[in-house]
Structure 1
Amino acid sequence: MKKNIASIFLILLGMGLYSCSKEKIAPLSQENVIPLPVSVSDIDGNFQLNGNTKIVSLGDAAQLNGVAEYLKSSVYSLTALNLSTAEQEQDNAVILELNPNSGLEAEAYQLTIDDKNVRIMASQPAGLFYGVQSLKQLIPAHGKDLNGTNNSFKISAGKIEDKPEYAYRGFMLDVARHFFSVEDVKHLIDQIAEYKINHLHLHLSDDQGWRIEIKSWPLLTTIGGSTQVGGQGGGFYTQEDYKEIVKYAMDHFITIVPEIDMPGHTNSALASYGELNPGITVPEQGALPYDRSNLGVDGMATPLYTGTEVGFSTLATNKEVTYKFIEDVIREISEITPGPYFHIGGDESHVTAIEDYIPFIERAQDIVTKYGKKTLGWDEVAHAKLLPTSVAQYWAKAENAIMAIEQGAQVLISPAVKAYLDMKYDSTTHIGYTWAALIELDEAYNWDPTGLEEQIKRENILGVEAPLWTETITTRAEIEYMVFPRLAAIAEIAWTPKNLRNWDSFSKRIAFHGQRWEAKGINFYKSPKVNW
């Protein structure tokens, strides 16, 4: 009898081991990729990522090496597997194939998974990078409780064919109201790259601080960069710091878009150089001095400002020194910015008379063009005559965006009521504002750029950007709290076609990302709309 019991036990144990070896995993079409790919098809089987898996690069090594290194470090962070490379195709490999003749668009990729290999194919390195981002999200690991190099991670077989809906998929960080270090910005680049964001717009100047070194106007940083909202010490990026950010962003296929706000939001410049001042006074906190009778002494430097009111400052639009200043600033920043855009702000310039504002914007636009860049500006710039290459960023008034379109310009969609990440989630959120809206996660997800105004059509839209203003935000952890999970929602709007997007699907997929954020120590908001 004992012998029979032992035999039964061994049979059951064997069945259990067999069952484990045939463990069911979710099909590829049910995985948690964000942004949702355009097409996913399932195949029976799975690929086992393990310590013997190789990385194989096919194509121009100079273009492939950075993506291969990124894949290697990402896999190690998630699994502790230290993958080595091989020069030729073989089984048990992740193959990066750069094929300019593939017919794929610049940011498109194909990701094919079977029992033998994972293959990512693209025509450009950016496409490979985005394929790697999707692959990372298929690996069932969060980087916690690692068990060494003998781990094996099953990835469902299938095929993903994917490309972005919009060419410009952006995030804006305001470093003027509160300053954030180079390391903080690089950390943020790491996070946003995972959601295929490809533009980082840096708001580098405002009333409360000037954050970029201009060698021909050194007081901008020594005086204008010395403080921030609340009066604490400020900070600024040297040009070498800025180049470091630009390079790090490029390595993650992100284009830096510098913004110098003008002619309003300029008190940090006026405090540094009085000759730029047409004669304004700095308001007490809580005052709104939009009446031009509040003008002070022409040519006198203003006091530094550490409050949060807007609209009181303006450059002297009738002085030639102002245009020398603007040209020097645009020239120096453009020389160290390889991307195509220069953002001139243009918003909330309430004390600049419209008859002064229009020629100022047009002249600033011409200077940007002179230095080989395309002009971006907040939607108010549409009151001026825009070049067809210029872009108006729709944040507040649809009629401004429509005026830009009627001039042949494109629009970048950033509606404050949907995409401003400094808006509170609900009335209990401890930081942020409510002036535009309360934006819970479902509100950030359930809209489309083509559904805002009938006259703003798909062909008029360059892309989508989610701005984060930082009047109330002082730390990296606070940035993370306001950005995640909402940026993932905006990223899906920017990447995934409207007909494929679904809140129920997204709310399930984002829970997996919450586990990843927890493992990485990201301080995200646990929306009650999601079963985390």
Structure 2
Amino acid sequence: MKKTLFLVLLLASFFAKSQKSTLNIIPQPVEIEQFAGLFTLNKATIISYNKVEGRSAAEMLIQKISTPTGFSLKVQEGKNGGIQLNINDVPNEKIGKEGYTFESNTKGVVISANTSAGLFYGIQTLIQLLPKEIEGKELAKTAWTIPSVKVTDYPRFAWRGVMFDVSRNFFSKEDVKKYIDQLARMKFNTFHWHLTDDEGWRIEIKSLPKLTKVGAYRVARYGHFGDRAIPKEGEVATEGGFYTHEDIKEVVRYAQERNVTIVPEIDVPGHSMAAIAAYPELSCNKNPKTFVNPGASIADWYGNGTFKVLYENTLNPSDEKVYEFLDKVFTEVAELFPNKYIHVGGDECYKGFWAADEGCQALMKKLNIRHVEDLQGYFMNRLEKILKAKGKKLLGWDEILEGGISPEATVMSWRGIKGGIEAAKMGHDVVMTPTTFAYLDYNQGENTVDPPIYAGLRVSKSYSFEPVPDGVDAKYILGGQGNLWTEQIPNLRYAEYMTYPRAWALADVYWSPKVSKNWENFSKRMEAHFDRADLAQVNYSRAVYDAIVKTTLKNNKLSLELGSELSDLDIYFTIDDTMPDSFSPKYSKIIELPEGPITLRVITYRNGKPLGHLITLKRAELEKRATKQ
């Protein structure tokens, strides 16, 4: 009898422990505690809301889970549901506007928040606590269980964004909505929509119809961006598209339902080639043959941040007609986007055409300024007055600091964090989005595996980002965002590949407490979300599994160092022209490579199974990337 009782207690203990699962939530909650026991969702479960603001969240939850579960769940007002969505009668000051509390046990789930936004984010946590099959597109047979937990959660930063460039390649409104939905699931709340550039003008301006009739289309070209040919004489522009006012309103509503604010960007005074193609009189040279760039090289870059533009892409700051044009554009933009910010670009503005223009020189004399660069400050201050008249705040890339801007302007720091530090110390609000941590168009792993681009950024580097620099008052740092430029991104599937998992890492950075940052912990959660993304048919990069190959050259001797972002990978390599596998030499320490025309082949394994891409590098490439000692 004693043996039987002991066995029963042992089994009970085992099952209690087995009910505790790893909680793979992204972003990591502020406080989370797990207990024994599970709540099981079934076809009789009711979702309740205590105030009308919670009804849309309840309906959105049902919409998300109905297909994989097969349940047609009911929504009702009150506090009697198996899943309760409650707006607090007395605000919980700790969780603020976007936070929530979450309690689940064997009887049900209660999500409480001060606002509907908090409820929405609590629901995203609930979905991540359900089995991964909840992400599927078809009916799944599994136990729909939620572990017993207690969560208190709220964001570190108010601005948690991703920028999506639709100028370099056009994306349909359905693509944009799908992308916004994915970001909202990770508790991002800002969608920076880059709508105009040299390669296309994507927003309808009814008072200026040629902006889309001409500026939204370019000649068809293929191949690497920057290597393409300019248009031929008489060649018809057929590639592109734009969003009508109704399209914009639809996307804005869709985002609002998911607590995402859309910040539109109209990039001026540089990056305006598409606008000038439509209205050449806006430029200094007024060249009627100005074209929408199909991805040709229109500038010479000198490697030190300086450049020369070969085809005019800059508005003329001395021409009053330019400001009349801008007033028309921003009148319609302001009406379409209800948020307080409009992004005006301001980056990479080439001043060479201004320096050679008589009108610009006369303006400089009138303003008593000696440097042509100061004309950008004049332009931006004129533009800010236009925006203020429409009830909007000016937001721009860190170049807007050049030439002087008003204290009310908000700065987006992209050229590292230096511009953000400078702006914050001047009293400007700042959004941190440096290339070194947040540029999602950069290569994610080995440059010989993914299609080439000018720089690299691994997910572990993105995860290491700290948006508040030392010595800066945190009150000026609104938050941060990732930026996805699409020169080399022709479709949504590849946009997803470049965005994830780095956007998941940035979601942690912008939402979770600084003290909770732990790469090992995040990488485990990230890998669990790979499985979820597969079921959701969302693309992502697996570059985190690839080996990192470094070489050094000392006294004409080439040494090899191999590593990985994940600590539990085994790395195997060959230099004898054979294909590596788990029986090949296993890397353990820096090795000196022999002389001769060797080819290095490297692959990673875990638990005896290959994971990463096969990397193949000839000696010339190994020498090219070597650091000299």
- Where on the TM-score scale, by shorter chain, does this alignment land: which range? 0.7 to 0.9
Q: How far did residue 78 of structure 1 move? A: 4.2
Which of 506, 515, 518 is the equivalent residue of 2:522? 506
Secondary structure of the equivalent of 2:102?
A: strand
Tell which deviates more after alignment, 92-101 or 215-224. 92-101
2:42/2:71 contact within 8 Å kept: yes
- Kept in 2, the 8 Å contact 1:56–1:88? The answer is yes
Q: Which of 260, 268, 274 pairs up with 1:268?
A: 274
**1:309 shift after superposition:** 4.3
Q: What is the CA distance between 1:20 and its match in structure 2?
A: 12
Structure 1 contact 379–395 (Cα < 8 Å) conserved: yes
1:129-159 deviations in Å (ceiling 9; x for gaps): 00000111000132459667x8532211121
Q: Quickly say closer, same or farther: Cα 1:507–1:119, change in 2 above 3 A.
A: same
Match 1:442 to one of 447, 457, 460: 460
Counterparts of 2:213 and 2:133 in 1: how far apart (Å)? 43
Residue 54 to residue 409, structure 1, CA distance change in 2 (3 Å): same
Q: Aligned pair in 2 of structure 1 residues 380, 147: CA closer, same or farther (>3 Å)?
A: closer
Secondary structure of the residue aligned to 1:142 is: helix
8 Å contact kept, 1:110–1:131: yes
Contact 1:208 1:229 (8 Å CA) reproduced = no
Opposite residue 529 of structure 2, the aligned amino acid is H
TM-aligned CA distance change 1:97 to 1:235, over 3 Å = same
Query: Once the 2 structures are TM-superposed, how far is the Cα of residue 77 of structure 1 from its aligned partner?
Result: 4.0
Question: Counterpart in 2 of 1:36?
Answer: 28
Q: 1:506 to 1:184 in 2, by over 3 A?
A: same
The structure-2 alpha-carbon separation of the partners of 1:389 and 1:432, relative to structure 1 and needing over 3 Å to count, comes to farther
CA distance in 1, matches of 2:389, 2:422: 24
C-alpha distance in 1 between matches for 2:350 and 2:425: 24
Identity of aligned residues (%): 35
TM-score normalised according to structure 1 size:
0.87
1:253 and 2:259 matched: yes
Q: Post-superposition shift, 1:79?
A: 2.8
- Of 423, 446, 462, which residue of structure 1 is paired with 2:442? 423
The runs of 5 or more residues in structure 1 that have no matched partner are 1-10, 280-297
Alignment of 1:383-462 (within 5 A): 383-426=402-445, 427-431=447-451, 433-435=453-455, 438-451=456-469, 454-462=470-478
How many angstroms does 1:24 deviate by?
4.7
Deviation larger for 354-363 or 384-393? 384-393
User: Which deviates more, 77-86 or 176-185?
Assistant: 77-86
Distance 1:219 1:524 in 2: 38
* Counterpart for residue 317 of structure 2: 317
* 2:170 maps to 1:179: yes
Report how far residue 220 of structure 1 moved: 0.4
Contact 2:67 2:137 in 1 (8 A): no
Question: CA 1:147–1:482 in 2, change beyond 3 Å: closer, same or farther?
Answer: closer
- The alignment partner of 2:86 has SS state of strand
**Aligned counterpart for 1:242 among listed residues 239, 248, 257:** 248
Residue identity matched to 2:121: Y
Displacement of 1:228 in angstroms is 7.1
* Cα separation, 1, equivalents of 2:541 and 2:392: 37
What is the match of residue 282 of structure 1? Answer: none
1:510 shift after superposition: 1.0
SS at structure 1 position matched to 2:207: coil
Q: Does the C-alpha gap of structure 1 residues 404 and 100 become closer, same or farther in structure 2, counting only changes over 3 Å?
A: farther
Distance 1:500 1:376 in 2: 31
Q: Secondary structure at the match of 1:431?
A: coil
In the other structure, the counterpart of 1:74 is 64
Residue of structure 2 in register with 1:343 after alignment: 343
CA–CA separation in structure 1 for the residues paired with 2:428 and 2:452: 32
Distance 1:46 1:450 in 2: 39
Q: How many angstroms does 1:389 deviate by?
A: 3.2
Partners of 1:494 and 1:123 in 2: how far apart? 20
Separation in 1, partners of 2:193, 2:139: 40
Q: CA shift at 1:262, angstroms?
A: 0.5
**1:380 and 2:399 correspond:** yes
1:513 maps to amino acid: H
Give the C-alpha shift of residue 429 in structure 1: 4.4
* Alpha-carbon contact 2:420-2:430 (below 8 Å) kept: yes
TM-score by length of 2: 0.74
Could you tell which deviates more after superposition, 219-228 or 383-392?
383-392
3-state SS of paired residue (2:131) = coil
Number of residue pairs matched? Answer: 491
Give 1:361 shift: 0.9
Q: Which residue of 1 aligns with 2:535?
A: 519
Residue number in structure 2 paired with 1:361: 380
Report the residue type matching 2:27 in the other structure.
Answer: P
Cα RMSD of the aligned pairs, angstroms, is: 2.4
80-89 vs 139-148, which deviates more?
139-148
Q: Write the distance in 1 (CA, Å) between the matches of 2:90 and 2:216.
A: 49
Letter matched to residue 362 of structure 1? N
Distance 1:95 1:397 in 2: 44
Q: Which moved more, 1:522-531 or 1:46-55?
A: 522-531
Partner residue in 2 for 1:135: 126
What are the Cα deviations for residues 279-328 of structure 1, in whole angstroms up to 9, with x where unaligned?
Answer: 1xxxxxxxxxxxxxxxxxx4645223222545632101100100011111
The residue number in structure 2 matching 1:283 is: none
CA distance in 2, matches of 1:363, 1:82: 56
* CA-CA distance at 1:459 after TM superposition: 2.0
Q: Does 1:27 align with 2:20?
A: yes
Q: Partner letter of residue 509 of structure 1?
A: R
After superposition, the Cα gap between the structure-2 partners of 1:480 and 1:20, relative to the gap in structure 1 and judged at 3 Å, is farther
| Partners of 1:319 and 1:329 in 2: CA distance | 16
Measure the CA separation in 1 of the matches of 2:162 and 2:324: 30
For the residues of structure 2 that align with 1:229 and 1:416, how far apart are their CA atoms?
29
Q: Which has the higher contact order (CA 8 A, sep 6+)?
A: 1
* Aligned with 2:76 (options 59, 83, 86): 86
Deviations 1:141-186 (A, max 9, x none): 32459667x8532211121000000000000010001110001101
**Cα-to-partner distance string for 1:318-364 (whole Å, 9 max, x where unaligned):** 00100011111111011010111100000000225312111001111
